[in-house]
Structure 1
Amino acid sequence: MKFGYLLLIFQTIHYAFGIDYDGWLNIKIEHTLACGGGYCTRGNIGLKSIRSGSAVIDQTPFTKQHIDALKELADRDGFYTVRTIVTSPDNNDSEFLSSVKAKTFLENGLNDVISVWVLPSGTVMSVSFQATNTSKPLKQKNEQYHITSKFYLHHVEQAPIPDTASYIQKLEREREAREKGEVKDNRSFLAKYWMYIVPIAIFVMISGATNPEAGAPAAR
Structure 2
Amino acid sequence: MRKRFIFLCLIEVLAAFATEIQPDDGSCILEHFLGNWKPKAKLSFSIDKVTYEPFEINLQRTELLHHLANSNSLYQFRLNCVSSENKPYTVQSYTKGCALLHSGLREKLFVSLTPTRHVKGVHIKLETDGAFCDPQFLSTAPIPDEFSTVVDYIAHSPSPAPDTQSFLDKIKEEQREKLANPPDNRGFLQKYWMYILPAVLILFMNSQGGGGGGR
Q: TM-score range by the shorter chain?
A: 0.5 to 0.7
Counterpart selection for 1:69 from 66, 71, 85: 66
Per the alignment, residue 28 of structure 1 pairs with 29
> Matched residues in 2 for 1:30 and 1:129: separation?
14
2:15 counterpart residue number: none
Structure 1 equivalent of residue 171 of structure 2: 171
Q: Structure 1's 150 and 138: CA in aligned 2 closer, same or farther, altered over 3 A?
A: farther
Q: In angstroms, what is the RMSD of aligned CA positions?
A: 3.4
- Does structure 2 conserve the Cα–Cα contact (< 8 Å) formed by 1:85 and 1:93? yes
Gapped regions of structure 1 (runs ≥ 5): 1-22, 185-195, 197-220
The Cα shift of 1:147 comes to 0.4
Aligned ranges for residues 29-108 of structure 1 at < 5 Å? Answer: 29-35=30-36, 39-47=37-45, 49=46, 51-59=47-55, 60-70=57-67, 73-87=68-82, 91-108=86-103
How far residue 99 of structure 1 moved from its aligned partner, in angstroms, is: 1.1
Give the CA deviation at 1:79: 1.2
Compared CA separation, residues 106 and 139, structure 1 to 2 (3 A): closer
Q: Which has the larger radius of gyration?
A: 2
Deviation string 1:23-52 (CA, Å, 9 cap, x unpaired) is 7322212222143xxx222222233x2x03
Alpha-carbon distance in 2 for matches of 1:30, 1:52? 24
**Structure 2 length-normalised TM:** 0.58
Letter in 2 for 1:153: Y
Q: Which amino acid aligns with 1:160?
A: P
- Distance across 2 between alignment mates of 1:25 and 1:120: 10
Once the two structures are TM-superposed, the CA of residue 76 in structure 1 deviates from its matched residue by 4.9
Q: Report what 2:149 is aligned to.
A: 149
> What is the rounded CA distance, in whole Å, between the counterparts of 2:92 and 2:77 in structure 1?
6
CA distance change for structure 1 residues 149 and 34 in 2, over 3 Å: closer, same or farther?
A: same
> C-alpha deviations, 1:117-173, integer Å up to 9, x for none?
1122332211123323489x6454xxxx11000100111223422213431232123
- One-letter amino acid matched to 1:132: E
Q: Which amino acid aligns with 2:147?
A: I
Q: What is the CA-CA distance between 1:109 and the residue it aligns to?
A: 0.8
- Cα 1:121–1:55 change in 2 (3 A) is same
How many Å separate the matches in 1 of 2:52 and 2:84? 17
* Secondary structure of the structure 2 residue equivalent to 1:120: coil
- Structure 1 partner of 2:112: 117
Deviations 1:60-107 (A, max 9, x none): 24223432333xx43252211112212356533331121111110011
* Of 77-86 and 121-130, the range deviating more from structure 2: 121-130
The whole-number CA distance in structure 2 between the counterparts of 1:116 and 1:76 is 26
1:66 and 1:111 mapped to 2: Cα distance? Answer: 17
State how far apart, in whole Å, the 1-side matches of 2:35 and 2:94 are. 17
What is the TM-score when the length of structure 1 is the normalising length? 0.57
Q: Where in structure 2 are there 5+ consecutive unaligned residues?
A: 1-23, 133-140, 183-190, 192-215
